Structure 1
Amino acid sequence: MHHFYNAPEHLVSELLEGLAMTASVTLSDHRDARIVMRADWQPDREGRQQVALISGGGSGHEPAHAGFVGQGMLTAAVAGDVFASPGVEAILAGIRACCGDAGCLLIIKNYTGDRLNFGLAAERAREEGYRVETVIVADDMALPETPQPRGLAGTLLVHKMAGYCANRGDDLEAVHQAARHMIERVRSMGMALSSATLPGQEASSRKTPELGLGIHNEPGVRQVTPENADDAVSQVLEALGRPDSGPWVVLLNNLGSCSPQEMQVIKRACLDQLGRANVALLLGPAPLMTSLDMHGFSITLAPADDTILEALSAPVQAPAWPTAQKVHDIETFSPRFSQQPPAGEGRHDEAREQLIARLATTLKKSEKALDELDAKVGDGDAGATFAAGANAVLKALDEGRLSTGEDALLASELGHLFATAMGGSSGVLLSILMTSAAQELEESAGWPRALQAGIERMQHYGGAEQGDRTMLDALIPAIETLANGNSTDAAAQAARAGAEETGRMRKAGAGRSSLVPEQALDGVIDPGAEAVARLFETLAGRDAKD
């Protein structure tokens, strides 16, 4: 399964039904005529005063054409099979359903099947007494010498212009003339990295980027090798005649499978290369006239005179029409970053400096052992991470940047140091621990109570609990032991017991170990818990392991 389709032969009916479940449209109930019509439209009511607009063609270009049915745009759309024109009878049935005394305009893309089927339907409708006019959209610039350029995404601008004029009550002749005037002024060009995959068929073998692909999988005018998005946009604009003056209306169309990130990068390149001041109105980027899953985009340009701007900016009730956007220069502001607090300006305590240096040296010497533990259950860098923090502490001590004689200030300085010197989540968690502890120490809490408050914040943000096979399994019992008035030796024993217990845990609740199979955890002490145990053993005056 490569696409979320059911049976390929049911695709068109099912996609139209999906649209009709939320949009204000009604569907024809005959399988031989897939017609989507405005739910509020009656030919003997609205159709008496307002020109009906009908478009359509092969499916596979969604949201075109049914997504543009609604007040202010199309009255109805007639859908054929994928990349195949609807039949004459279906189109004629659509005319009969929509056309009132004000008449009807058929908007046809310049493909042989569409021209012939819509054209014959128009002739037969006239024979039946309906007032019908037709226009043929040929906005493709890929083959400038061809006498019959294809109709591409520029068709949507014709829909919008004609819909605007019809909605304000212009007669059939005026709506017809406005549509023809727009057709004469619009031009489109596309580029794709790969062609489309038809439902039920194998993916196309055409994987080379092409300029000027048709929306029915026709080959492009030439193969291209764009270096990046900027170059791709440059080549498309070059094929459009490299317009260097405006103002322009730009319609930026996703041909099917470009990601939102790609389309924003393409938008940026397009606006920069055209010149933001030369773009009066932007439509998209959005999938508007697609080609199934084609990985490409198209750019449509039209001159932005007052009439066109007014028509394209007018509100509509068609579900797929994008909001017209004004283009402006990028506005910036200067964010405020955290200022490093003055370091080491508080009192200093020589005995505490020596203790901190011993603790840091323990972690530094433990780098290899901790890395070896982490290699069994994680990504093998726990020792290096703790060693980086230890080295930063030792350097800060040498430079006198730790206020070792003032508890709250020392905790705050350590919090900043861990955040900047240690990588990964361990550095952030230890920074949270010390930053939160500093706030408690400012309120005259002792170190055990302050560290308990810091652990609570670690758990809040980190999501781990005791028993989840993390450093908390050693840290929590050790700090609780101190908070209960017991000795550092008892705290060291509690930390070591907690660390050893992680080696018997076969399931981790947090961290990278949670992604490791249970059998790989058996007998392996969590490296964070081991680091904590070694720190408390040093604090208690015991010799640290290598």
Structure 2
Amino acid sequence: MKKFINRVDHFLAESLAGFAAAHADLVELNLEPVFVRRKTATPGKVALISGGGSGHEPLHSGFVGYGMLDAACPGQVFTSPTPDQMMAAAQAVDSGAGVLFIVKNYSGDLMNFEMAAEMCEAPNATVLVNDDVAVENSSYTTGRRGVAGTMIVEKLVGSMAESGANLEQCKAFGDHVVKRVASMGVAFSSGTVPAAGKPTFTIGEDEIEIGVGIHGEPGRRRARIAPADAIADELLTAIVDDLKPAADAALLVLVNGLGGTPLSELYLLFNSAHAWLRQRGFTIRRVQVGSLTTSLDMAGASLTLCSLDAEMMKRWDSAVQTPTLRWGR
């Protein structure tokens, strides 16, 4: 294992310390229990909180800031944060309008966020993200997994909360967005969890895992490496079959790197996706390309489609100021 690391058991703490120092103008790090919060809050708004196991950076801490999350709770690598982290974060960022938890559908995350929600004194609600169309159940979930589409949900609902919407409106809008987002990924290699010191799974030099999960869970099938056009075809066929966007739908396309893939390859994959969608008459209105929901150093990528209505388009375009996404201010 070759990584920038001092001691394995200090990996998360030192990474978070560096993150907070690098973005001290935007975020603050709380240590006991651990959570990241906005440095400058908007009084009277619904507070958005998300989180999950570390190793998926910049999700979620990288999306804390104006127009997105008020706080993020990072667990150990690929391990759910604990209810006390979520409770402390909620108490720190609640300004009286209630708390909305945005949760990826993984058993540990769901269980711990449910416990926090039950104990939370503030009015609260939960939006559950399950955008991965690859498999219905996995070793981590009952039902579909929450993956890169989570970032889209956080951005759109974050904008609505920033504009003054109440808790009920933010919850309803979040549920609406979830129904219009679908994703699927492919891995060329495994990520390596620092504490394990070896790849999570083994895969041949000429093999790919179609439909891989962001923790390295198995996908739909193991296949031989194929051209980017063929990979895009398989991913987008599954996504479109599930999402069933209208012929005149305005699509947001997210090409997401899983941690070990160069940006040049992600743009090449977008080129393949762009051609595939145009050939079938779909209209691409917004594009985001980059490594936004990763799996440590896994080589591979995921594609996400979001079918935008007018309100969703407005929310995507609205101002955001986070360590990772910044536009419109």
TM-score by length of 2: 0.90
| Equivalent position of 1:341 in the other structure | none
| Equivalent position of 2:224 in the other structure | 225
Matched, 1:8 2:3: no
Is 1:283–1:323's contact at 8 Å kept on the other side of the alignment? Answer: no
CA-atom RMSD in angstroms = 1.9
Deviation at 1:251, TM superposition (A): 1.1
Is 2:136–2:143's contact at 8 Å kept on the other side of the alignment? Answer: no
Deviation at 1:221, TM superposition (A): 1.8
| Equivalent position of 1:137 in the other structure | 129
Q: For residues 145 and 61 of structure 1, do their structure 2 counterparts lie closer, same or farther at Cα, with a shift above 3 Å needed?
A: closer
Aligned length: 313
Q: Structure 2 stretches of 5 or more lacking a match?
A: none
| Equivalent position of 1:405 in the other structure | none
Tell me the distance in 1 between the aligned counterparts of 2:94 and 2:137: 37
Identity %: 38
Q: Which has the higher helix share?
A: 1
Deviation at 1:98, TM superposition (A): 1.0
| Equivalent position of 2:47 in the other structure | 52
Deviation at 1:60, TM superposition (A): 0.2
1:26 to 7, 28, 37: 28
Deviation at 1:3, TM superposition (A): 1.5
| Equivalent position of 1:312 in the other structure | 316
| Equivalent position of 2:285 in the other structure | 280
* Structure 2 residue identity aligned to 1:217: G
- Which whole-Å deviations, capped at 9, do the CAs of 1:345-384 have from their partners, x for residues lacking one? xxxxxxxxxxxxxxxxxxxxxxxxxxxxxxxxxxxxxxxx
Deviation at 1:322, TM superposition (A): 6.6
- Which whole-Å deviations, capped at 9, do the CAs of 1:178-218 have from their partners, x for residues lacking one? 11110111111001111211114123452231111111111
Q: Structure 1 stretches of 5 or more lacking a match?
A: 325-546
Q: For residues 236 and 323 of structure 1, do their structure 2 counterparts lie closer, same or farther at Cα, with a shift above 3 Å needed?
A: farther
* Structure 2 residue identity aligned to 1:283: Q
Is 1:283–1:322's contact at 8 Å kept on the other side of the alignment? Answer: no
* Structure 1 residue identity aligned to 2:214: I
| Equivalent position of 1:206 in the other structure | 202
Q: Which has the higher strand share?
A: 2
Matched, 1:255 2:250: no
Deviation at 1:29, TM superposition (A): 2.9
Is 1:99–1:130's contact at 8 Å kept on the other side of the alignment? Answer: yes
| Equivalent position of 2:233 in the other structure | 234
After superposing the two structures, state which structure 1 stretch, 55-64 or 193-202, moved more.
193-202
| SS in structure 1 at match of 2:179 | helix
1:98 to 93, 96, 99: 93
| SS in structure 2 at match of 1:10 | helix
Is 1:190–1:296's contact at 8 Å kept on the other side of the alignment? Answer: yes
1:116 to 111, 115, 120: 111
Is 1:247–1:279's contact at 8 Å kept on the other side of the alignment? Answer: yes
| SS in structure 2 at match of 1:275 | helix
Is 2:180–2:308's contact at 8 Å kept on the other side of the alignment? Answer: no
Within 5 Å, give how 1:362-441 maps onto structure 2: none
| SS in structure 1 at match of 2:159 | helix
* Structure 2 residue identity aligned to 1:3: K
Tell me the distance in 1 between the aligned counterparts of 2:319 and 2:278: 27
Is 1:60–1:290's contact at 8 Å kept on the other side of the alignment? Answer: yes
Is 2:320–2:327's contact at 8 Å kept on the other side of the alignment? Answer: no
- Which whole-Å deviations, capped at 9, do the CAs of 1:459-504 have from their partners, x for residues lacking one? xxxxxxxxxxxxxxxxxxxxxxxxxxxxxxxxxxxxxxxxxxxxxx
